[in-house]
Amino acid sequence: MTSRASRRWRVTLTGATDMAVEVDPQAVTPAEKSGPLVTNLRRADGSCRRRFEVVVDGWRFEASVEPSHQATLRDKAARAARERHHSTTSVLRAHIPGRVARVWVEVGQQVEQGDRLLAIEAMKMENELRAPHAGRVERVAVAVGALVERDTELLTLG
């Protein structure tokens, strides 16, 4: 490796929005580096990606950062894996902890993109979950009244 300092980095953001962007750190000014509130987060076990929480004007992101060449290799591997299991099945998970307030669909039902599937009540509000794509409801993993944590599996859409 000749020049560590000049290489580009892939930044994958989650939180206020999900996006990936390539950045040349050499072009980032000191003010741009220190303006946002940046906190180191623990790396996932075995991962060489650095993780930060970054807050900009109150918007909160979690940033996962790795050298671009490494990210590109991983992308290729992931694409190959996707091609091997070609399918449009998606497992919908709870985006917030709460209580399942309503279930509008049942197994076998055909839904269109944007149809209401179920609602989670959190902080006394009903938060509706809608279908990300058209499909058939293959599995409903929760019932009305169930308490769910973040990322609990709710429903499988085929």
Partner 1 sequence: MSLRKDSRLGRPFRRLLIANRGEIALRIIRACHDLGCEAVAVFSDADAASPHVRAADLAMRIGPAPAAQSYLRVDAIIDAARQSAAEAIHPGYGFLSEQPALADACAAADIVFVGPAPATLAGLGDKLAARRTAAAAGVPTVPGLFEPLALSGPGWEDQLARTAEGIGYPLLVKAAGGGGGRGMRRVDDPATLAAAAASASREAAAAFADAQVYLERYVERARHVEVQLLGDDHGTVAALGERDCSIQRRHQKLIEEAPAPGLDGHQRRRLHGLGLAVARAVGLTNAATAEFLLDPAGEFWFLEVNARLQVEHGVTELVSGIDLVHEQLWIAAGWPLSDTVLAAAAAAAEPGAHAIELRISAEDPGRSFAPSPGTITRWREPSGPDVRVDAGVEEGTLVGADYDPLLAKLMVVGTDRAAALQRMRQVLASLEIGGVQTTAPFHHWLLDQAAFADASGLATDFVDREWRPAPLVQAAALRAAAAAAAHAAEASARVSAGALAAGGATTPSVADESASRDGASASPAAAGGWWQAGLDELLAERL
Interface with partner 1, residue 104, by CB under 8 A: no
- Write 138-145 long-range contacts (CB < 8 A, 24+): 138/89, 138/107, 139/107, 140/103, 140/105, 140/106, 140/107, 142/100, 142/103, 142/118, 143/100, 143/103, 144/100, 144/101, 144/102, 144/103, 145/99, 145/100
The only residue of 2, 3, 4, 46 in contact with partner 1, by rule CB under 8 A:
4
Q: Which stretch binds partner 1 (CB under 8 A): 53-61, 78-86, 107-115, 131-139?
A: 53-61
Q: Which stretch binds partner 1 (CB under 8 A): 82-90, 106-114, 121-129, 134-142?
A: 121-129
Residues in contact with partner 1 by the rule CB under 8 A: 4-5, 8-9, 11, 13, 15-17, 19-29, 31-42, 50, 52-61, 63, 65-66, 95-98, 101, 121-127, 150
